[in-house]
Amino acid sequence: MKKIYYFFLVGVLFFMGCKVDNSISNNPWKYIASQLEKLELNADNAVHVQSNGKKLVSPRSLGDSGELKMVPSSDWCSGFFPGCLWLMYEQSREERWKESAQKYTGQLADQQFNGRTHDMGFKMYCSYGNGYRLTHNPEYRNILIQSAKTLITRFNPKVGCLRSWDHHQDQWKFPVIIDNMMNLELLFWATRETGDSTYYKIAVSHAQTTIKNHFRTDYSSWHVVDYNPETGEVVQKQTHQGYADVSSWARGQAWALYGFTMVYSETKQIEFLQQAEHIAYFILNHKNMPGDLVPYWDFDAPNIPDEPRDASAAAVIASALLELSGYSSGQSATYLGKAKQILKSLTNSYRSAAGNNHGFLLDHSTGSKPHDSEVDIPLIYADYYYMESLIRLANYFD
C-alpha cells in the first residue's frame, strides 16, 4: 500500500462525521492520551502479585466488581497494553510514552522462551514488534527472533499447522483455532530479519491448511479444528467461544479477515487475497450484521437483537478492511467506506466516557459469552486495534 502522511487524525474524524466530546474536538488523541494516562496510573497502582505468587504485569479488562483486571506475562493479552503505549508514542512522538512503553514491554521478556502457547504474535509482536519498528532497539530484535524460534516448535509437519492450545487434552488431540492466524506475522518478520525461510514456510503452510479446513462454503469459519497429530487428518470442527459449532463467532471471523489480509501482504499470493475478500463479503453482507457494523458476539446468536455486541471484533474488522483496501482491485472504496463507518460507530457510541472504565477506550466488548466471561465490558485488545485502525486511517491510503 502506498504510504501518504496525509492529514491529521482530526481531519480524518471530521471527514468521517464523528461527533466527539467538546473537550477533545480539537484533537481526538487528547482523549486517547488522557484515558491511557488513567489506565497506566491505575495499572501502576494495582495489585501486582497473585495469591499463587505469579506477577501481574498488564491490564486486560474489568473484574466482576468493576475493578481493574491485571494479568501475568503468560496471558495472551499481556502484549496489548504495551502495544497501545507504543502506538501512542508513534502518534505523538512524546518521550513519556516511549518510556512507558519500554517499561511495560520489558516485563514480557520471559515469554520469548514460553513454548506452551501459540500466542507469541499477540504477546510479543504487539509489544516488542511495535517497539522494534519504532526504535530499532537490537535487544528487541533478539527477543523477537527467539520468540519466533519458540513459536515454531509448535509446528507439526503432518498437520501443516502450529498447535494452538495445550489444555483440554481429553477433548482435543491437536487443536488449531482461527485466532492463530494472527501469530503468523511474527514468523514472516523473522524471515525478513534473519534470511531464514523456515519461518516463512511454516507460516504459509499454516495459512494454506487453514484455508483448506477451517472454512465453510459461505466462507465463515469454524473456531476450532482438531487434527490427528499422527496423520494430519481432521478429527472434528467445533467452537469454544461461539454460540454453537455451526455458528459464526464474530471475533473469529475478524481474526480470519485480518489474518489472511496480513498473509497476502507478506506473500503476495493471490489465494490469500481472494480468501480475505471472501471473508469480508461474508462479514459485511451477513443478514445479522447491525446497521452500525459493530457485530453481535456471534452472527448466529439466538436472541438477536437482544444479544451483546463485540466492539473488539469491530475494531479488528476495521483495521483489516483498511489494510485490505490497499490490495483489492475492485472493492477498495467499499472496504475503506465500511472501515470508516465502523470507526464512526465506535467513536460515537462505544467509547468510554472520559475518565471512566479505569481508562479503557472502548466499552461493550465480549470475551467469551458461553463461559459468561468478560461480557459487555472493556477489553484491552479492542483498544489496541481501535488505535491501530485510527493510525492506519490517518496514514495509509492509495
The residues that are catalytic are: 119, 179
Nearest to 254 by CA among 375, 154, 175, 339: 339
Q: What is the pLDDT of residue 322?
A: 97
For residues 101 and 85, is the Cβ–Cβ distance under 8 A? Answer: yes
Could you give the CA distance from residue 350 to residue 343 in angstroms, rounded to a whole number? 10
Neighbours of 300 (CB within 10 A): 18
Identity of the amino acid at 146: Q
For residues 320 and 254, is the Cβ–Cβ distance under 8 A? Answer: yes
What residues of the chain score a pLDDT lower than 70? 1-27, 51, 396-398
Q: What is the pLDDT of residue 54?
A: 85
Is 239 annotated in a binding site? The answer is yes
Q: What is the pLDDT of residue 396?
A: 60
Q: What is the pLDDT of residue 28?
A: 81
The residue ranges of DSSP E strands in 244-340, in sequence order, are none
Is 251 annotated in a binding site? The answer is yes
Which helix (H) or strand (E) segment is 259 a member of? helix 250-267
Farthest CA pair distance, the chain: 61
Is 179 annotated in a binding site? The answer is yes
Nearest to 87 by CA among 119, 126, 124: 126
Is 172 annotated in a binding site? The answer is no
Q: What is the pLDDT of residue 245?
A: 97
CATH second-level architecture of 9-43+144-395?
A: Alpha/alpha barrel (1.50)
- The model carries a pTM of 0.94
Which helix (H) or strand (E) segment is 71 a member of? strand 68-71
Q: What is the pLDDT of residue 170?
A: 86
